[in-house]
Amino acid sequence: MSSAAVAPSEPQVVVANGAADGDEDSRTTFGSWQEEAPPPFDPLPTPAGSVAESVHSVHLSHLQPHELRTISRLWITSRDLEPPPPPPHRNLALRGLRWWARWAVPGMGMFVEAWMIFAIGNIMPLLKISFPHCFGGEEPTSCSQSAASSATYVEVCGIILGMLVLGFCADIIGRKWGSRLASSVMLLGGAMLTGCAGGSDSGFLVMFLIALFILGAGVGGEYPVAASSAAERAEGSKQMRRRRGETVLLTFSQQGWGNLSNTIVVTLLLLVQGATGPSVSASQAEVTWRVQFAVGTAIALALVAYRWTLLQAGPPPQQLPCCCPCCSDMKNWLRRWLGANAMSRRCGRRSGMTLRSTWRRRGSNHSHHEYSIIFSFYWPRLLVTCLAWGLSGFAFYGQKLFQAQFIQVISPGASIYTMMQWTLLNNAVALLGYYAAAALIDRPWFGRVRMQAAGFFMLSVLFGLQGALYDVLLGRALGAFQFLYYFSAFWQNLGPNCTTWLVASEVYPTGVRSFCSGVSAAAGKAGALVAAATFSSISPRAAFYASAGAGLLGFLLTVAFLPDTTGLDLHEIDRMNRYLMAGQLAHYHGEGCNPRFLSWWERWRRYDEHYMPDRDYVHKQLQRHPHMPAEPPPSRQTSPRPTPRSSRRWLPGGGSSVGGSPRPGPVYPSMVSLAEGSAC
């Protein structure tokens, strides 16, 4: 193949994609963005200190003309769309308020979901007092006891449904509309729980379970939408990208504040009514659980009002680049499914999209082929995020399940008020884990994989000690038992509870990020269901051993299958996905296949053999990448390695190599048509 580059002084002579400038065939659409392809390759001015212009012939000569043409159209616009942060204010109070608002306001959805969900566990003793013949099990019973005991299962089923449905919809209708729907459903469920009533105990139970299911659906939808939005928002500026993990986990820490705040409100309501003794009247119990639901519903109402009136899908129009498409890949809801012409008409003014028009435009391009191709490549990552979250949910639910029994052990005959105080202490200790995780998550020496592995390992050790020394701790060392129990709550957050939420929003491309995060989160709740069904039929010691085993299995899965995205630009994952959808994955040589960011399994499968930063630099020049480094990276020398047992490695696309120099693989006709019509 002849050289694909000429001197910068003669850009019009170069035809790197096989079509002359102005040729009608050179301006085709590519991907489900329906982007207008850039003109044929015009070599950029060679930066100072870069290699000679013959580098193009060296690094592009192995490509066939149709491959070069396809790769030249895999272009990405700038992602630096967020305004720079204001300079630090001299007033420390105002500076702290700005820091808090950057993550607290986006995390209010997690605050509300934690308030509502963890409230169910706090108010169950109060419901047994308000409805002793239904929830309390006193004879004669006034409702179905199996239905009364299934409140947790109904709640979790609603959460799983919301995670799957709203997570899928958020990839089509966008993050803004997804967050609006999730918060609105939470508001509806909270209002129904606050005013829940019935002509009889059975009628109340039916309404309570319906409201609980609706609330769970909204809570479930908040998980993937909030995680995806936080990760993508952290990609909006260079300063935020360096602290993406911290930004996302600080947003997630609102879950801990919601749990803690709900416990504080319940405790204060009992204190104000004088219900601090061993007995609580039915009226005091009803006032307590209804008022705490009302407070949570009021916060949800404020959240819905903010998201429907003030929440913007992107930066103000005057801050958008003057070129179109006018939004970054990370701003999925503005750019994911709209065509270039539609975006051109909206450039410089506020978009007038409605939910119906957004669904019609984006949903028509959301092909099942895209999911099948992506999942055929990302299934190991989906497997580890699902299993890790499921094992985390299993251990976490086990820790919560033993909470009431544990309090009775360390404080026999404790009243509801005393139990709330112990629960408050446990939640405060657990809250510290969120901030410890946020402080360490972006450290290169710790990162995602080491944090999750350390968390699982510590949970295994702590739960194993509580199981092995159960009789000794109960008889002679209640203080040590209390320390081990609370310390496990700390490591749950300085570990899998935070990392599973973060990693599931980082290891997938933008187009399926919310759905894959929802699937992973649903697996976590499925693990909680398994724990609920298992722990009810085994002894406390066996339950501690089961939680320890879950921690050990999670540790092994994390070490073997979880990729470490610490320091990896999410824009690069989207770029790799474009190569994947175009059937050119064998020719992707960027940071997405850097062994530093791959799991042990992916390195064993030799995904890293295609990592060639010098060749990727030329690809970025060909694609007019908006964030080119000042100088080309040094060549990466690779040595031949033995072929692994499985010959199916870099999938799909068929291109493979042995020894670090990939040979072009076949471009399947189905993928070509998909790339030209509906893939990204």
pLDDT of residue 596: 93
Tokens (6 digits) for 469: 């020394």
CA 15 to mean position of chain CA atoms: 42
pLDDT of residue 637: 55
pLDDT tens across 99-156, in order? 777 788 888 999 999 999 888 888 888 998 888 888 887 888 888 888 888 888 898 9
Residue 46: band (very low, low, confident or very high) from pLDDT cuts 50, 70, 90: very low
Q: Please give the Cα distance from 139 to 144 (Å, whole number).
A: 12
Paired sense of beta strands 29-30 and 35-36, if any: antiparallel
Q: Over 90: is that where the pLDDT of 519 sits?
A: yes
* Average pLDDT of the residues in 600-623: 87
Contact 264, 109 (CB under 8 A): no
CB neighbours of 572 closer than 8 A, spacing ≥ 6? 590, 591, 592
Residue type, 642: P
Task: Tell me the C-alpha to C-alpha distance, in Å, between residue 314 and each of 41, 147, 236, 621.
Answer: 30, 45, 10, 28
Taken as a whole, the chain contains a residue count of 680
* Average pLDDT of the residues in 296-302: 95
* Average pLDDT of the residues in 177-185: 93
Secondary structure (H, E, C), 104-123:
HCCCHHHHHHHHHHHHHHHH
Sign of the Cα torsion 455, 460, 463, 465 reads: negative
pLDDT of residue 321: 34
- Centre a 10 Å sphere on the Cβ of residue 517 and count the other Cβ atoms it contains: 32
Task: Tell me the C-alpha to C-alpha distance, in Å, between residue 36 and each of 193, 574, 581.
Answer: 50, 18, 17
* 443: phi then psi, degrees, rounded to nearest 5: -75, 125
Higher local confidence (pLDDT), 676 or 440: 440
Q: Please give the Cα distance from 590 to 583 (Å, whole number).
A: 16
Higher local confidence (pLDDT), 188 or 18: 188
Find where tokens 């050790």 sit: 461
Q: Tell me how far apart the 2 most distant CA atoms of the chain are, in Å.
A: 93
- Centre a 10 Å sphere on the Cβ of residue 533 and count the other Cβ atoms it contains: 10
249, 252, 254, 260: CA torsion to nearest 10: -100
Tokens (6 digits) for 114: 């934690």
Q: Please give the Cα distance from 183 to 302 (Å, whole number).
A: 10
- Centre a 10 Å sphere on the Cβ of residue 572 and count the other Cβ atoms it contains: 19
pLDDT tens across 559-593, in order? 999 999 998 988 889 889 888 888 888 889 889 99
* Average pLDDT of the residues in 343-367: 47
Residue 354: band (very low, low, confident or very high) from pLDDT cuts 50, 70, 90: low
Contact 554, 499 (CB under 8 A): no
Listed residue (160, 175, 171) closest to 226, CA to CA = 175
Residue 355: band (very low, low, confident or very high) from pLDDT cuts 50, 70, 90: low
CB neighbours of 408 closer than 8 A, spacing ≥ 6? 414
Task: Tell me the C-alpha to C-alpha distance, in Å, between residue 520 and each of 109, 262, 524.
Answer: 19, 27, 7
Higher local confidence (pLDDT), 635 or 473: 473
DSSP annotation of 19 reads S
pLDDT of residue 58: 59
Q: Please give the Cα distance from 466 to 545 (Å, whole number).
A: 8
Residue 306: band (very low, low, confident or very high) from pLDDT cuts 50, 70, 90: very high
Q: How many CA atoms lie within 13 A of 221 on its CB side?
A: 27
The lowest-confidence range among 49-63, 153-167, 209-223 is: 49-63
pLDDT of residue 635: 66
Domains and CATH numbers, the chain: 105-311+369-561 (1.20.1250.20), 570-624 (no CATH)
Tokens (6 digits) for 672: 């070509």
pLDDT tens across 467-494, in order? 899 888 887 877 888 888 889 989 999 9
Q: Over 60: is that where the pLDDT of 364 sits?
A: no
Q: Please give the Cα distance from 66 to 69 (Å, whole number).
A: 5
Q: Please give the Cα distance from 349 to 182 (Å, whole number).
A: 27
Exposure string of 535-562, with b = 16+ CB inside 10 Å and e = fewer, is: beeeebeebbbbbbbbbbbbbebbbebb
Tokens (6 digits) for 47: 């930066």
pLDDT of residue 52: 36
* 35: phi then psi, degrees, rounded to nearest 5: -75, 150
Residue 344: band (very low, low, confident or very high) from pLDDT cuts 50, 70, 90: very low
Secondary structure (H, E, C), 519-555:
HHHHHHHHHHHHHHHHHCCCCHHHHHHHHHHHHHHHH
Tokens (6 digits) for 583: 């059937």
Q: Over 80: is that where the pLDDT of 600 sits?
A: yes
Higher local confidence (pLDDT), 399 or 578: 578
Contact 377, 652 (CB under 8 A): yes
pLDDT of residue 351: 43
Q: Name the strand (E) or helix (H) holding 35.
A: strand 35-36
Task: Please provide the average confidence, as pLDDT, over all residues in the chain.
Answer: 76
Q: Please give the Cα distance from 8 to 25 (Å, whole number).
A: 24
3-state secondary structure of 280: coil
Tokens (6 digits) for 511: 């187009």
pLDDT of residue 303: 94
